[in-house]
Amino acid sequence: MTPEERKARSRLAQLIGGHGLMRGCLLVRRRKCGKPTCHCAQGEGHESLYVVITEQGRTRQLFVPKDWEPRVRQWVEDHHRARQLMEEVSRIYWDKVRKRQG
Ligand SMILES: [Zn+2]
């Protein structure tokens, strides 16, 4: 195993064995809460975070409550990183077949 592969695999194992993983994109939307006395009635709306995913061609979005934001951001980021690492490992094996180097 090359040092690159070892590194990618060990980072991947850390991510998978760590906390959560969540596929999706983070989206910040602004919305007005509807209270006429709230500052948002005049200016910009409150920021809320959503996770957006596409499943079987359908887009779904999930509202993330404020106190869940740090966790969800971490899970989404870790999933993204894990996918990149899987790609890296996959590329190594693609080359093995191409070069006939088991
Ligand atoms: Zn408001």
Q: What is the pLDDT of residue 6?
A: 94
pLDDT, average across residues 69-77: 96
Q: What is the 3-state secondary structure (H, E, C) of 7-76?
A: HHHHHHHHHHHCCCCCCCEEEEEEECCCCCCCHHHCCCCEEEEEEEEEECCEEEEEEECHHHHHHHHHHH
Q: What is the pLDDT of residue 52?
A: 97
Q: Identify the three-state secondary structure at position 15.
A: helix
Instruction: Return the CA Rg of the chain.
Output: 20
Is the pLDDT confidence value at 97 over 80?
Answer: yes
> What domain count does the chain have?
1
Distance 66 CA to ligand 1 centre (A): 15
Distance 31 CA to ligand 1 centre (A): 8
Distance 48 CA to ligand 1 centre (A): 12
Q: What is the pLDDT of residue 102?
A: 73
- Residue 9 structural domain: 3-99
Residues 74, 44 contacting (CB under 8 angstroms) = no
Is the pLDDT confidence value at 64 over 90?
Answer: yes
Distance 29 CA to ligand 1 centre (A): 13
Q: Is the pTM of this model over 0.85?
A: no
Distance 63 CA to ligand 1 centre (A): 17
